[in-house]
């Protein structure tokens, strides 16, 4: 009888053990496998990313202001030039003839003015002595004033014709490099005061900049003087430094009036390092450093999600209103998690600065996306996926 009692007790213990093991196994199945990470102090750099192209800081289009055949082209593309150097020569025959005509007309008007002046002074003297009538005096005076006005017109005509003649010689306005030839010798330059007919472009390649388009949501963070890392597509992954020199106040909008409308602002970034291989027009991308904070509390961006306020904490508001969404992280407490509201600061590519909510004593859930977005709630059982994988490893022989 005693032996039978012992057997019953042992059987009961065995059944209890099986039940406990089964229960633990079932609970373990219910626990969600997640990645975890300790909250730490990090350096956070907030950046704005944009794309654009390289161009010289100083670039001048050389245009013909008068029309004529290009009879001499003294430079080639890529050639360095000095300020005042003759770059091209237009046909001068017509303009030289106009100058000669204007000079002749000016001499004629000058002679007529001198004659009219002498007549006026003689008549004026006779008028004062009473030997000339007032009407004769007025007529002589008008003839003199007309001769003076005609001479002034002749002088202006001569000045204009001489200026047109000078404009047939195209000279370099700056020291620089010819980066583009638009015309060839023998072609006609259609000169106009109101519409430029570009013959060539001269640029100072000692100063280069990148013009980029920055989205309206990011432009508010960009300031003059912000430091910039520049990558030029054609030169691989090497980075060059620069800084913001100009921020446009006028937006440019692509697809205005549609759902896909994009509003950007032009930003100029001056390069402080200029590689020898650089060329105007090369594509470039920039990273504008808008803010940097060292050794601040940080959590991975992927760890931050949102939950309704009433699921995170008890609220005293009894009105039937839609609950506010809170930004939260899930703090690990033993084998479960708790949603912790956080106040966030600046962000880098991978991390948010945390202003309040957690500290370095917290371990938080960083993945997976499904769990963070949908599955986890305060009190949800979790297990560290790293430990699960480690336990599942086969011992080395």
Q: What is the pTM of this model?
A: 0.73
What value does the mean pLDDT take over residues 160-176? Answer: 95
Cβ pair 368, 383 in contact under 8 A:
no
Cβ pair 204, 175 in contact under 8 A:
yes
Q: Return the residue matching tokens 């904070």.
A: 293
Confidence band, pLDDT 50/70/90 cuts, at residue 394: very low
One-character DSSP codes across 300-343 = EGGG-EEEEHHHHS--S--S--PPPEEEEEEEEETTEEEEEE-E
**Gap between the Cα atoms of 341 and 326, Å rounded:** 6
In this prediction, residue 54 carries a pLDDT of 97
Confidence band, pLDDT 50/70/90 cuts, at residue 25: very low
Poorest-confidence range of 86-100, 101-115, 225-239, 318-332? 318-332
Q: Which CATH superfamily is domain 49-55+209-293 in?
A: Efflux pump adaptor protein, beta barrel domain (2.40.30.170)
More confident residue, 323 or 164: 164
CATH 3.30.70.1230 fits 31-43+296-391, yes or no: no
Confidence band, pLDDT 50/70/90 cuts, at residue 195: confident
Residue 2 has pLDDT above 60, yes or no: no
pLDDT cut 70: percent of the chain above it: 88
Question: What stretch of H or E contains 115?
Answer: helix 93-128
- Longest Cα–Cα distance of the chain, Å, equals 173
In this prediction, residue 318 carries a pLDDT of 53
In this prediction, residue 390 carries a pLDDT of 64
CATH 3.10.20.90 fits 92-167, yes or no: no
Query: And the tokens for 159?
Result: 């000045």
Q: What's the chain's Rg over C-alpha atoms?
A: 42
**Gap between the Cα atoms of 78 and 192, Å rounded:** 27
Q: Give per-residue pLDDT as tens, 43-52.
A: 999 999 999 9
The ranges assigned to domains in the chain are: 31-43+296-391, 49-55+209-293, 92-167
């Amino acid at each position: 009888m005693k032996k039978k009692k012992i057997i019953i007790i042992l059987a009961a213990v065995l059944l209890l053990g099986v039940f406990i093991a089964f229960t633990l196994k079932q609970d373990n199945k219910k626990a969600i496998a997640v990645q975890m990470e300790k909250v730490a102090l990090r350096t956070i750099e907030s950046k704005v990313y944009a794309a654009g192209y390289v161009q010289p800081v100083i670039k001048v289009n050389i245009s013909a202001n008068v029309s004529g055949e290009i009879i001499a082209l003294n430079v080639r593309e890529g050639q360095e030039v000095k300020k005042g150097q003759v770059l091209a020569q237009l046909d001068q025959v017509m303009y030289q003839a106009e100058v000669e005509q204007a000079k002749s007309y000016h001499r004629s008007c000058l002679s007529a003015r001198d004659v009219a002046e002498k007549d006026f002074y003689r008549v004026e003297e006779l008028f004062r002595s009473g030997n000339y009538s007032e009407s004769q005096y007025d007529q002589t005076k008008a003839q003199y004033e007309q001769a003076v006005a005609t001479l002034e017109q002749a002088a202006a005509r001569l000045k204009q014709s001489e200026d047109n003649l000078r404009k047939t010689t195209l000279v370099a306005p700056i020291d620089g490099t010819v980066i583009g030839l638009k015309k060839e010798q023998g072609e006609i330059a259609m000169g106009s005061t109101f519409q430029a007919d570009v013959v060539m472009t001269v640029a100072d390649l000692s100063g280069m900049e990148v013009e980029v388009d920055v989205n309206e949501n990011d432009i508010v963070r960009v300031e003059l003087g912000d430091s910039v890392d520049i990558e030029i597509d054609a030169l691989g992954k090497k980075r060059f430094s620069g800084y913001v020199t100009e921020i446009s106040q006028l937006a440019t909008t692509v697809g205005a009036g549609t759902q896909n409308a994009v509003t950007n602002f032009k930003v100029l970034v001056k390069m402080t390092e200029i590689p020898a291989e650089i060329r105007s027009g090369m594509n470039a991308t920039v990273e504008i450093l808008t803010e940097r904070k060292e050794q601040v509390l940080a959590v991975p961006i992927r760890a931050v999600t949102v939950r309704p306020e009433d699921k995170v904490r008890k609220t005293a508001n009894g009105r039937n209103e839609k609950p506010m969404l809170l930004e939260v992280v899930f703090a690990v407490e033993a084998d479960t998690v708790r949603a912790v509201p956080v106040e966030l600061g600046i962000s880098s590519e991978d991390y948010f600065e945390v202003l309040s909510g957690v500290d370095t004593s917290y371990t938080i859930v960083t993945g997976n996306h499904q769990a963070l977005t949908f599955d986890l709630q305060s009190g949800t059982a979790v297990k560290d996926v790293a430990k699960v994988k480690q336990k599942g490893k086969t011992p080395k022989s």
